[in-house]
Amino acid sequence: MNLRIKKNFVTKMLLGLSTIAFLSGCVNDQSDKTYDDAVDIPTNQEMVAELTSPPFVPTPVGKRMAKKLIVDLEIQEREGEMVGGVKYVYWTFGGTVPGSFIRTRVGDELEFHLKNHPDNKLPHNIDLHAVNGPGGGAESSFVAPGHEKVFSFKVLNPGLYVYHCATAPVGMHIANGMYGLILVEPEGGLEPVDREYYVMQGEFYTEGGYGDRGMQAFDMQKAINENPDYVVFNGHVGALTGDNAMTAKVGETVRLFVGNGGPSLISSFHVIGEIFDKVHVEGGDLLNHNVQTTLIPASGSAIVEFKVDTPGSFILVDHSMFRAFNKGALAMLNVEGEENKKVFTGEIHDGIYLPEGSVIQSMPSLDRKKAKEEVKALSFEEKMKFGKDKYMATCVACHQGNGQGIAGAFPPLAKSDYLNADVDRAIDIVLHGKTGEITVNGEKYNSVMTAQALSDEEVSNVLTYVYNSWGNSKKEVTPQMVEAVRNR
């Protein structure tokens, strides 16, 4: 070995040793916490747990001592709306999907009262991933309609845990909405933040396709094939958009408790326009920083935290994009406050760039037979209702629930001079799409709208809704008018 090689070798050895020392330091920080001693934390008082409906969470535990915590949770089978005009019978913990949020701390003794409402049709139970014990409580909590089961457990491990029904067929009970989150805070509580919200993804399998009206039954074969019609946050399409959007102010730190009920899909959870400053990976102790998209397994969770630096609408998605824009996996956080040009300037220049071959893409028609079986609107009121449903399913992501559009990106439909000037042009844009610069209410827009694969009936409904909303000119569009534009 010549001297030079020897020197390199020694340097590498030293570097290697220091790396090992550094790594073991890190590992010690994160993996030595076993919480074995939590079993001996005394509880000498009793309190009833505060339970909340999503997207809200109970008060942080802070510095409170461990207690006997009574959790009262009622199972309800109830009808709800998946998206406009689509009904579904949800099975719920506490009347909502996801179920009520439970907040506890290490050392608490949980006395769990699970009630199955007498109007329900089926037995259910609960498996809490925060339990150290057989079935996570499932066997002890199996309860028939009109009955109540009580079991208790000591809370040993901190973290954000999923709970779900585990009654056979388990996949079906979960697919009908039977899941929620239980947060176990460490001794002393989580660090305080300005806002906390509860968001949980889940997918639904219906006999009809996306948006097919009426009562939709669960489809076992689609569930086995893992091919859902809906992938949503908080139980239905639009649960957290428009008036239901979450809110924050510039400069605040937002903490999202995010779960994935599944039953089958993994979520690529992302917030458009934000970076997670901190992620509690899989809801446990491991902290990651500066994360764009975090994976949330079926029946797993993550706690994500970020400071909002600029005002605007921030869109939560499963970044498997067709789930977000075609199956409903989209939620919204609206941030108000002063702009900060140091962080984000907005648009500085808008030039024209039209390479060869740029064409408008059309939305593929998913189901041709749908047009034949279509339910036709029989009155103006029905046209408005069907039109609104179609709008909320198809147009809302860009043009927004109140027709305001998104400044600098998508033009407004509310009090729109461009829209009100020419009905045939509006029909043509819905049928064939639109690209290139247009001026709406004095502002220039240069975005792309794709052609929409809608029937004449659907186009007439949605445009009638748009023309009769938000201060527009109150025109009624008929299927015949749409057909005339289609055929010209």
Check binding of 129 to Cu ion (CB under 5 A). Answer: no
In the sheet with 102-105, reading across from the earlier edge strand, the strands are 102-105, 179-185, 159-164, 127-128
Give the residue, chosen from 103, 164, 173, 399, that forms a contact with Cu ion under the rule CB under 5 A: 173
Q: How far apart, in whole angstroms, are the C-alpha atoms of residue 377 and residue 379?
A: 6
Q: Which of 130, 174, 178, 281 binds Cu ion (CB under 5 A)?
A: 178
Q: What single-letter amino acid sits at 422?
A: D
Structure tokens at 52: 């909340």
Q: Which of residues 390-449 bind Cu ion (CB under 5 A)?
A: none
In angstroms, what is the minimal distance from the CB of 167 to Cu ion? Answer: 4
* b/e per residue 426-435 (b: at least 16 CB within 10 A): bbbbbbebbe
Helix, strand, or coil (residue 276)? strand
Minimum CB separation from Cu ion for residue 390, in Å? 33
For CA atoms 480, 481, 486, 488, the dihedral sign is positive
Distance (Å, rounded) from C-alpha 169 to C-alpha 205? 15
Piece of the chain touching Cu ion by CB under 5 A; list 124-132, 229-237, 293-301, 452-460: 124-132
CA 486 to each of CA 273, 359, 430, 460, 482: distance values in angstroms, whole numbers, following the listed order: 38, 19, 10, 12, 6
Say how many residues make up the chain: 488
Cβ closer to Cu ion: 167 or 461? 167
Give the nearest distance from C-beta 123 to Cu ion in angstroms: 7
Nearest-approach distance from CB 91 to Cu ion, in angstroms: 6
Sole residue written with tokens 């993804």 = 201
- Residue number, 91 or 276, with CB nearest to Cu ion: 91
Any contact of residue 165 with Cu ion (CB under 5 A)?
A: yes
Q: Strands 330-336, 312-318: parallel, antiparallel or unpaired by DSSP?
A: antiparallel
DSSP state of 120: -
Cα–Cα distance between 266 and 263 in angstroms, integer? 9
Question: CA 209 to CA 222: how far, in whole Å?
Answer: 11
Contact with Cu ion (CB under 5 A) among 67, 105, 115, 124: 124
Using the rule CB under 5 A, give the single segment among 170-178, 180-188, 273-281, 447-455 that binds Cu ion.
170-178
Nearer to Cu ion among residue 82 and residue 165 (C-beta)? 165
Among 92, 104, 141, 167, binds Cu ion (CB under 5 A): 167
Q: Which residue lies nearer to Cu ion by CB, 142 or 276?
A: 142
CB nearer to Cu ion: pick between 128 and 392? 128
173 or 327: CB nearest Cu ion = 173
Query: Which of these segments, 81-89, 164-172, 190-198, 477-485, binds Cu ion (CB under 5 A)?
Result: 164-172
Task: Verify binding: residue 149, Cu ion, rule CB under 5 A.
Answer: no
**In whole angstroms, how close is the CB of 229 to Cu ion at the nearest point?**
21
Burial class (CB in 10 A: 0-12, 13-18, 19+), 124: buried
Span interacting with Cu ion, options 6-14, 175-183, 355-363, 398-406, rule CB under 5 A: 175-183
> What amino acid occupies position 144?
A
Q: How far is the CB of 86 from Cu ion (least distance, A)?
A: 22
Size of the site for Cu ion (CB under 5 A): 5
In the complex, which residues of this chain contact Cu ion (CB under 5 A)?
124, 165, 167, 173, 178
